Amino acid sequence: MSKILKGVIAAVGAAAVAEAGISAYFYRRTMIRNNAKVENTIKMAGTDWNQHMDFIGKRKEYMLSQFHEDVYQYSHDGLKLHATHFPGPGKNKLVICFHGYTSEGMKDYIGLSGYYLKKGYGMLLVDERAHGKSQGKQIGFGCLDRRDALKWLEWAVEVYGEEVQIIFHGTSMGASTVLMASGLELPKQVKGIVADCGFTSPKEVFTHVLHSMYHMPAFPIIQIADVINKKRAGYGLDECNAAREVRKATVPILMIHGDADTFVPSSMCDEIYENCASQKKKVIIKGAAHAESYYKDTQKYEEALNEFLEEIIK
């Protein structure tokens, strides 16, 4: 009996060590700047960007031909944050844009630059913490970035003046950032939020990825990663959930999602929409994969933006 008991204990111990190792590897690969690779994100998202490269190339040429400048701001915890600023023709309209996981502001808003700049908006393309030219080691997944968004609002009001009308526009992790920010006390200059393919929380999107793409149980990987992240980054993986934060929202929100998104399922958009307390609209783009909605159906996307912005921007 003692031999059997020792064997069981040894097996349990070995399994625990293996789980701890897997969890540590998962944490390092997904939550730490230098280990989170854009090529892995593209592979997981599964979006075929090759079919849109001609369109993207033309928009990029236009975007880069416009005057732009590097600007910097400091986060509440002392990180130097970077953004690229495209001044508008006036000082009354600005869209502050937040990119997706492992991306950068100048990459995710190539397409939409041709929409906003031609409509007279200034654009501030933010590099979220631990991305691009912004400092930081731990990725914020919206939970920390929403506080950084407040700092960029301070910058915007200082540069553009008290009468500026501001739109938040976020894609993927950036969409979660702006949705989570909706639960904060936003200044009067923020007139609306556009959220494209946002997730509810890091915990829920990681759970989905582990189940659907890696065919692995989320427990105890997520729970261990949660403990590690609280200690190192200062926030829990479900501490800030977009579906809960929008219950406190007071500004209008436009939510856009592709029904072919396998990385962040559109059911998360449905949940966020159902919980949203403010004026809201939801647009589902048929056949669009993750972050592909603007390119899959540019006309429908721009029509939704036109209708939304005409109601809230003077």
Classified by CATH at the fold level, domain 32-201+240-312 comes out as: Rossmann fold (3.40.50)
User: pTM (2 decimals)?
Assistant: 0.92
In this structure, the strands spanning 93-98 and 80-86 are: unpaired
Parse the chain into domains and list their residue ranges.
32-201+240-312
pLDDT higher than 70, residue 26: no
pLDDT band at 7 (very low <50, low <70, confident <90, very high): very low
pLDDT higher than 70, residue 158: yes
Mean pLDDT for the chain?
91
| Tokens of residue 30, six digits | 């997904």
* pLDDT for the residue 2: 55
* pLDDT for the residue 108: 97
Nearest to 253 by CA among 306, 199, 200, 194: 194
234-238, 291-295, 297-301: range with lowest mean pLDDT: 234-238
- Compute the average pLDDT of residues 56-79: 97
pLDDT tens digits, residue range 208-266? Answer: 988 887 777 888 889 998 899 999 999 999 999 999 999 999 999 999 999 999 999 99
| Tokens of residue 205, six digits | 């999107």
